[in-house]
Structure 1
Amino acid sequence: MVDLEQLAGQIGQFLLARGETVTAAESCTGGLIAAALTAVGGSSGWFERGYVTYSNLAKSEMLDVPAAFIEGLGAVSEPVVAAMVQGACERAGAQWGIAVSGVAGPGGGSPDKPVGTVWLAWATPQGIVTERQVFSGDRAQIREATVRHALLRLEDLLQQAR
Structure 2
Amino acid sequence: MTPELKQRAAALLKAFERKGLKIATAESCTGGLVAALLTEIAGSSAVVERGFVTYSNEAKTELIGVPADLIATHGAVSEPVARAMAEGALARSRAEVAVSITGIAGPSGGTATKPVGLVHFGLARNGFATVHLERRYGDLGREAVRRSAVEDALALLEHALTL
* TM-score category (smaller protein): over 0.9
Distance 2:46 2:131 in 1: 24
Matching residue of 2:71: 70
Matching residue of 2:135: 133
Is contact 2:90-2:125 (8 Å) kept?
no
1:152 alignment partner, one of 136, 155, 160: 155
Q: Please give the residue correspondences for 1:1-162 in structure 2 after superposition, counting only pairs within 5 Å.
A: 3-125=4-126, 126-136=128-138, 137-158=140-161, 160-161=162-163
Q: Which runs of at least 4 in structure 1 moved beyond 3 Å after TM superposition?
A: none
Secondary structure of residue in 2 paired with 1:122 = strand
TM-score with structure 2 setting the length: 0.94
Q: Which amino acid aligns with 1:141?
A: A
CA RMSD of aligned residues (A): 1.3
TM-score with structure 1 setting the length: 0.95
Secondary structure of residue in 2 paired with 1:119 = strand
Secondary structure of residue in 1 paired with 2:25 = strand
Q: Which amino acid aligns with 1:154?
A: L
Structure 1: stretches of 5+ with no match in the other structure: none
Deviation sequence 1:46-89 (CA, Å, 0-9, x none): 00010000000000000000001100010000111111111111
Is contact 1:26-1:101 (8 Å) kept?
yes
Secondary structure of residue in 2 paired with 1:75 = coil
Q: Which amino acid aligns with 1:53?
A: T
Shift of 1:157: 2.9
Shift of 1:131: 1.1
Q: Which amino acid aligns with 2:117?
A: G
- Would you say how many aligned residue pairs link Structure 1 and Structure 2? 160
Is contact 1:10-1:155 (8 Å) kept?
no
Structure 2: stretches of 5+ with no match in the other structure: none
Q: Which amino acid aligns with 1:130?
A: H
